[in-house]
Structure 1
Amino acid sequence: MEITDGLITRVDGRPVEEFIQKLSRDRVDLYIHAKNEGTFSKGQTGACVGSVIDTRTGFVYEGINGPGDALIRMEDLHPLLAERYHVLKSDPPHPAQILEHAEVKAANQLLWERHKLGLPDDASALKELRASVWFPFKKDFDLEVPVPPKAAPFCANCATMLHEVPSSFGRFTAFPPSAENKLPW
């Protein structure tokens, strides 16, 4: 592991962004395998699976979207994210449940870890996280057959909740998602 200015920059010789992409993609393969073996269903994940790394602590948390009743409980929501949630909930930029998304769940856990360690857990901490999210169970819309996992940019809700967090596959700033409202980070 290489560290520069207190932040992890490389893991196993790879840039941290590449490391988290590979780790999250490997995890997607495990979900697909479990689904194929019948030990885990697509319905247990919702649309996305993602991993987030804290480049200061080295902690990695994984989150999965949904299912619909798998929201972060308000009493478990980190105060920074709770503040943002309360601003967004009356007029969210995306129709999905804000607190069921993989990257929000993982970032929430990382902020709590920082809190326990006495490290900054305010908005400045978010820029030290890196997220990589995937759609593991997409289907071809015409043929209704599975297709390979697809990179998942942040939806507009996640982009707003986690706007300081770099996303491996970009972010959409509005709904519906389009090339015009996609940012590359």
Structure 2
Amino acid sequence: MPTPTPLATGPAVPAGVTGARVTRRFPAPARTAFAALTDARNHARWVPQTRVRTDGPPRRGSVVEAVSGPFARFGAPGLPDRMTITRYERPGGEAAGAAPGVAVFAKHGPLLLGEATIRVEPVDDASCLVTWEERVPLAGPLPGALTSRLTAPALALMLRVVLARAARELAV
């Protein structure tokens, strides 16, 4: 398992919280990859053992609830992950050097806090570089700097699976 990497903090993430960051080149234009990756309705296909409900297409203010666990996809109870999109900026174009697309999902509990950030940077008109970061401390009496070290290895594994599945789907 990789060692958790300290990541930049923001208003939703307390100082000292570590996280997981995975970067992968995608065989799709930046705008296409950004639209697919930030649309939480697609996450149910890519995130293992998870179902997702959202209030519609991604935009700033969108509300997302994912539930993960054995048989969660079939309606069984599981671990809820409630989120709101707090930043949503589409890529500025498809050419290298164009502004990247960035979406930030703030996590509101009840157990998972912090944020997830999806960044899509154009490489050329047919490919892009995707970086997905998760900084997720647990709610409760223990410090976030400690609990984020516990969640980071599992998040890194999950992100590698999600990005591999999404890249395969977008390459078709």
Q: Could you tell me the TM-score, scaled by structure 2's length?
A: 0.29
**Structure of greater Rg:** 1
> More relative contact order in 1 or in 2 (CA 8 Å, sep 6+)?
2
- Structure with the largest fraction of helix: 1
Q: Could you tell me the TM-score, scaled by structure 1's length?
A: 0.28
- Structure with the largest fraction of strand: 2
